[in-house]
Amino acid sequence: MPTVLAIHAHPDDIETLAAGTLALLSAKGVRVVIATLTAGECGAVNDEPEATARVRRAEAAAAAALIGADYLCAGLPDLGVFNDDRCRRAATELIRGARPDLVLGPSPADYHPDHEAGSLLVRDGCFAASAPGYRAGTAQPLDAIPHLYFVDPVGGRDREGRPVAPEFAVDIGSVMAVKREMLRRHQSQVDWLLKQHGMSDFTAGMEAQSRKRGREFGVAFAEGFRQYRHTPYPRDPRLQTLLGEILTSTGA
């Protein structure tokens, strides 16, 4: 069975955007690794980033463990993810370390600078990971470029509010309870999301987005994806084939 690596910028992003799909893959016997570029140390109402980083790494590992997934963190600074040399080497080392066949990465357009820069780093890290001459860390280069997919942006929209349409969606109705439990492992986010985002129920955004995608595809809950197919990335529908029943057109 292949390995699927889901990378995003902060702990709780993947739980919000792709945990249902990862739960389905894990249940099929696929090895799943969840990784974040940062530990999300700025996502707290206190001013002790080191302590926040420890808490959030532990929460992310606990969430991943619910579906039998491993958790990795590249340790880049929160709000300090840039499309630069240092960050690209860190992303490449992360990808090489996980040995993925498929990678799920952040949407190129999203609400947060770490998400948008992280999308470029994951895209280009997948390319660099199989280049033997590219020095990153101690992990061995990959044999080939992995299949690359972008998850939906938070809220399904870009910064101007325009909808970002997925290419296909995955029906996550059967694993919605697992997805909720994974997100609830990020309990440190309750106070932060109330302060910074004005959200009194920190799972409400995930719930609404999953329901909206589901409505668009004629099911109760769904997650959307786009495959990156530019040369020389693999173009065959490997994730779609792994998942089987893929939703490819809007229901209504």
Cβ-contact 22, 4 below 8 angstroms: yes
For residues 127 and 135, give the distance between their C-alpha atoms in angstroms, rounded to a whole number: 13
Cβ-contact 117, 18 below 8 angstroms: no
Q: Which stretch binds Zn ion (CB under 5 A): 6-14, 97-105, 180-188, 199-207?
A: 6-14
For residues 93 and 97, give the distance between their C-alpha atoms in angstroms, rounded to a whole number: 6
C-beta of 136 vs 183, nearer to Zn ion: 183
Q: Which residue is nearest to Zn ion (CB)?
A: 10
Q: Which residue in 4, 7, 13, 30 binds Zn ion (CB under 5 A)?
A: 13
Examine residue 56 and tell whether it contacts Zn ion (CB under 5 A).
no
For residues 60 and 197, give the distance between their C-alpha atoms in angstroms, rounded to a whole number: 20
Examine residue 41 and tell whether it contacts Zn ion (CB under 5 A).
no
For residues 38 and 81, give the distance between their C-alpha atoms in angstroms, rounded to a whole number: 8
Q: What is the DSSP string of 25-36?
A: HHHTT-EEEEEE
Examine residue 120 and tell whether it contacts Zn ion (CB under 5 A).
no
Query: Smallest gap, in angstroms, from Cβ of residue 25 to Zn ion?
Result: 22
Query: Smallest gap, in angstroms, from Cβ of residue 185 to Zn ion?
Result: 16
Query: Smallest gap, in angstroms, from Cβ of residue 205 to Zn ion?
Result: 11
Strands annotated E in 13-60? 31-38
C-beta of 13 vs 93, nearer to Zn ion: 13
C-beta of 31 vs 108, nearer to Zn ion: 108
Binding site for Zn ion (CB under 5 A): 9-10, 13
